[in-house]
Amino acid sequence: MRIWLTLVLLALSAVSLQAREAAPLAPDEATEKRLVAISSELRCLVCQNESLSGSHAELANDLRREIRTLIQQGKSDAEIMDFMVSRYGDFVRYRPPLKGTTLLLWFGPGLLLVGGLGALLIYLRRRSKAIDDSPLSTAEQQQAERLLNVEEPQK
Amino acid sequence: MNRFLWPLIGFAVLVALLAVGLNLNPRDVPSPLVGKPAPLFSLSRLDAPDQNFSPQDMLGKVWLLNVWSTWCVSCRHEHPVLVDMAKDKMVTLVGLNYKEVRGDGGLDADKLDAAAERKLALERGNAWLKQHGNPYSLSVLDLDGRVCIDYGVYGVPETYLIDKAGIIRMKHTGPISRDDFSGKILPLLAELSK
């Protein structure tokens, strides 16, 4: 019984695997390689957290077709990037360009790290100073000794 | 000062940042086309398929270009607002129908040839406008979505406000609510129509 069930499930999974068709490829491999390289740098605007090369969204299909056409027209990678950015904005790029509005994005984490290290350093210095600067006075020394001596016989 | 106060303040700041961040709309991506001339196209009209429409026909007018489709669920929510807008004659609306046949997941568009696709798109588009009301002065068919790529459309509905000189002045992503219309679109429209 269990064997039959396994076989049926296996057969079903084979069917579902076959149902996934590969995306249509351009005739030449070089174009396809460039397409993958370029579209991995681009964000799919429908799914937002997926790259254009990995997305199954319909717009992603259309855009890949568009990029394929541009490659076949002999456009450079930079020109294709410009084509996308001029329509969808810097948001389509996974690596946003360095400019006024993205300064915080690029350097924010570094600033936080430097700030955190600075705060830690100041805190540690202050603490070590606080420990050094208060040696015991003679009276305190005697009191400490007395306390230690009292406790000893109990051991 | 209490030594627990600083972590508490830090925590409060984080919560505030998250609260703001989570309430932003991630779909509201600023369009680079705002301030630029509306991309040109020439597409055939839904009401008169033998005639074409181009944005140049609208020079000298302030108008809205609204991307829609009959299979788009959000467009259905937006539609009554558009119908009311048109009823009060406050704005000239041009519809840009996005991939009427190919975009519909329920249809197998690959089996249709170009003529059949076109015929089906015309039927579906006109029937839908008849049933739900037609707020558009005219609509055009972008069967393969190529023009919409030039406009940076990534979800339907989207709306562009174009001024007298043919410059895009605003892009609205997603359905227009009544508040969007009275608060955002109408004031800009009045200012540009001066």
Domain ranges of chain B: 35-193
For B40-88, what is each residue's pLDDT tens digit? 999 999 999 999 999 999 999 999 999 999 999 999 999 999 999 888 8
pLDDT for A2 equals 64
pTM (global) more than 0.90: no
Calculate the alpha carbon distances from A6 to A13, A16, B130, B169, B194 in Å. Answer: 11, 15, 53, 61, 74
Task: State residue A153's pLDDT score.
Answer: 57
Looking at domain A23-97, its CATH superfamily turns out to be: Cytochrome C biogenesis protein (1.10.8.640)
Mean per-residue pLDDT, B126-133: 94
Q: Which residues of A touch B145 (CB under 8 A)?
A: 59, 62
Residues A81-93: tens digit of each pLDDT: 999 999 998 889 9
The pLDDT of residue A152 is 58
Q: What is the mean pLDDT of residues A35-59?
A: 88
Inter-chain CB proximity B151 and A85 less than 8 Å: no
Q: What is the spatial distance between Cα B45 and Cα A47, in angstroms, rounded to a whole number?
A: 31
Amino acid residing at A57: A
Q: Which of B29, B102, B146 lies closest to A45 in CB terms?
A: B29
Confidence (pLDDT) at A121:
95
CB contact under 8 A, A89 and B31: yes
CATH code assigned to B35-193: 3.40.30.10
Residue A16 has pLDDT above 60, yes or no: no
- Give the number of other Cβ atoms within 10 Å of residue B132's Cβ: 15
In terms of C-beta density within 10 A (0-12 exposed, 13-18 middle, 19 or more buried), how is residue B97 classed? buried
Which of B13, B29, B36, B99 is the best mutation test for A, with the most CBs of A within 10 A?
A: B29
Q: What stretch(es) of chain A map to CATH 1.10.8.640?
A: 23-97
